[in-house]
Structure 1
Amino acid sequence: MKRSAGLLAFLLLLLGGGAASAQSRVTATGTAAILSGDAARARDRAVEAALRTAVEQVIGTLVDSETLVQNNQLLADRIYTQTRGYVSNYSILSENADRDSNIYTVQVEAEVREGSLADDLGGLGLLLRRMKMPRVAVVLKNDDGTVAAFVQKVLREKGFLLVETPDEAGGAGFWSMDQGAQSDLLRRYGAEVAILGAASGGAGGSVRGSNLTSYQASVNLKAVKADTREILATASGHGTSVHVGEAGYQEAARQAATVAGGDLVRQITSQWARESSSSRALLLDIDGVTPERAAEVAARLEREARGVQEAILRSSEGARATLHVSMQGDASDLAQEIRKLWPRAKVTSQSANRLTVAF
């Protein structure tokens, strides 16, 4: 049963499409005072209180408690004031008007739009804090820097931390590498998420009877976890403009980058929301083990490690094995569990989603 649940969680992590429509079903209770004998009005307020509690419960799965406390007023102003917008449907499970205490109590089952909530939390930067502020590098093929600059602007406005890309990134040698080598290069310069892609466009024909020129620009983007090479999101955008000079291409590039960058951010935050509330895919590299020993490690992690839903032996060659681990937590949490189970094991390398351990 545990393996089946872990497999399901892993499959959900891989499903990027439809993330924005993800929903969570929760049960919540709300109360309100019955004033001047008006039970109907108290009932309405109790329902609103229950729905707010439902939204708060979902937020609690997406954002850590310390961040919630530090940003309580911000959440109250920007999220809790529009509770109804995050609830797609609800039903009343029970209700009671206590005339002795003059309290109306309602219990509801609500479907909360987790994707929409994640988008707005992402806009406030709260999901980024939950994911420990991953740093991002943007590299685009066939781009003079114009489109990349606009993509970076979208990311920066959403609170992402950007790293300067190395000189060798973006050249012919970089694009002749496979995706893994590209990610490794950017990771050496501090990037934890690599946004790779290609841009195209330029001047089209002249507008008849004027000195205007039509311009167009297109961009395709792919966000990849630099340490595990897992694809987080893909997006594309297109822009057009008519202008007398090169400013026309600038406007077309801005449109394309804004569309693609905005879509990419929404997908990334939805993916991170799912990872925060359920589990995330980690890679565990183990040195000094036989294939049989690696299989034993995987089995014990499943049985005894807190938060581990599934551990699968992905490959084994020589004295090194790689496990795929589905876990509620990141690589630092996995390292802590490994130290508990194997006190002599030594962590030799660690990033957000990947861990290397010597046995």
Structure 2
Amino acid sequence: MIEEKNIGESPSAYHLIEAQLNTAESALMEKLMAKGFRFVDPQIIARNLNLQKANAILGGDVQLASALGKKVGAELILVGKAMATATEVEAFGTKIRSQQATVTVRAIRSETGEILCTATEQGKFSHIDDIAGGIKAIQQACDRISETLVKQILDRWQADVTAGNILILQVLNVKDYSQLNRFKASLKSYVRGILSVIQRDFSDNIATLEIEMKGDAEDLAQKLSSISMEDFPFQVTEVNEGGVTIRLNASIPQSNPGIESPDTLQ
């Protein structure tokens, strides 16, 4: 999603063409697809996005962008702005029109809302028609920014593989905050490979934990399914690309060893 403005000025006219041109989006998609990236069909996005949500996302609402990405099945959401303007200079008695563009893009990880990387690039073109020149300048900036984005995204993914992958563990049926703290403390002891556990949210008996570990969601699900946490019986209920969902069972009351049951009394 790129908010785009292409503005041309002259002494006798002022032109404003809004984002319907989609020059930046089209240029970025073309460059990134050539690098092997795949994109969700724009019609699918349009069915899940109204003007209010689009403006909020373009305005910096990372959580809404994350929710949209998860809903349409995108691993990353690209959000940014593209602005093209024009100036006029005189050289050797000749007036020359020049168009400049600045494009800024953020890559947001859908599963966590994390900003994976940010890039800004500029383009410049000279054309007698400000709008046509602005399009060329935006395309030039997008050529440059696509190279920057690809490098940053791949570098980050490689770092995630080396240092540990970020996964979301959603825990359902959590009794209270005390139980959640004890569960978090136990995870690293029971599940090998977990590097860190960070609580992101807890409300309505549902906890969202950010897990850093070496492996993917399938690895986490298999490890969770193969262990038995004595104080926290649970079942794995869902596995997706970005994480795992489990449901805690109600704790089984333990008998008090200091009191004999009626059946053992003589």
Q: Same fold (TM over 0.5)?
A: yes
Match of 2:83 in 1: 200
Overall identity of the aligned pairs, in %: 28
Between 1:152-161 and 1:234-243, the stretch displaced more is 152-161
Match of 1:140 in 2: 2
Matches within 5 A, 1:40-55: none
Between 1:153-162 and 1:183-192, the stretch displaced more is 183-192
Are 1:141 and 1:170, in contact at CA under 8 Å, matched by a contact in 2? no
| Of 296, 309, 313, the match for 2:195 | 309
Matches within 5 A, 1:79-118: none
Deviations 1:56-103 (A, max 9, x none): xxxxxxxxxxxxxxxxxxxxxxxxxxxxxxxxxxxxxxxxxxxxxxxx
Offset at residue 273 of structure 1 (A): 0.7
Matches within 5 A, 1:281-292: 281-290=166-175, 291-292=177-178
**Structure (1/2) with the larger helix percentage:** 1
Offset at residue 324 of structure 1 (A): 2.0
- Whether 1:352 and 2:241 are equivalent positions in the alignment is yes
Match of 1:48 in 2: none
Q: Which structure 1 segments of 5+ residues have no match? A: 1-138
- Residue 216 of structure 1 aligns to which amino acid in structure 2? Q
Distance 1:313 1:323 in 2: 5
- Residue 55 of structure 2 aligns to which amino acid in structure 1? W
Offset at residue 212 of structure 1 (A): 5.0
Deviations 1:242-288 (A, max 9, x none): 02334422321122112222111111111111111120222211010
Distance 1:334 1:310 in 2: 13
Match of 1:252 in 2: 137
Are 2:65 and 2:113, in contact at CA under 8 Å, matched by a contact in 1? no
Deviations 1:80-130 (A, max 9, x none): xxxxxxxxxxxxxxxxxxxxxxxxxxxxxxxxxxxxxxxxxxxxxxxxxxx
Q: Which structure 2 segments of 5+ residues have no match? A: 5-18, 249-266
Are 2:28 and 2:142, in contact at CA under 8 Å, matched by a contact in 1? yes
Match of 2:116 in 1: 232
Deviations 1:140-172 (A, max 9, x none): 113331011111122112111111232265845
SS at match of 2:63: helix
SS at match of 1:163: coil
Are 1:314 and 1:324, in contact at CA under 8 Å, matched by a contact in 2? yes
- Residue 147 of structure 1 aligns to which amino acid in structure 2? A
| Of 227, 232, 237, the match for 1:341 | 227
Are 2:107 and 2:117, in contact at CA under 8 Å, matched by a contact in 1? yes
Are 2:236 and 2:244, in contact at CA under 8 Å, matched by a contact in 1? no
Cα distance, 1:164–1:211 mapped onto 2, change above 3 Å:
farther
- Residue 158 of structure 2 aligns to which amino acid in structure 1? A
Cα distance, 1:356–1:210 mapped onto 2, change above 3 Å:
farther
Are 1:141 and 1:175, in contact at CA under 8 Å, matched by a contact in 2? no
Give me the TM-score of the superposition, normalised by structure 1: 0.56
Q: Which has the larger radius of gyration?
A: 2
Match of 2:56 in 1: 176
Deviations 1:218-244 (A, max 9, x none): 111100111110111000011010023
Give me the TM-score of the superposition, normalised by structure 2: 0.74
SS at match of 2:226: helix
- Residue 356 of structure 1 aligns to which amino acid in structure 2? T
Distance 1:251 1:169 in 2: 29
Distance 1:319 1:170 in 2: 31
Are 2:69 and 2:77, in contact at CA under 8 Å, matched by a contact in 1? yes
Match of 1:297 in 2: 183
Match of 1:330 in 2: 216
Quote the RMSD (CA, aligned, Å). Answer: 2.3
Between 1:188-197 and 1:158-167, the stretch displaced more is 158-167
Are 1:227 and 1:351, in contact at CA under 8 Å, matched by a contact in 2? no
- Residue 202 of structure 2 aligns to which amino acid in structure 1? S
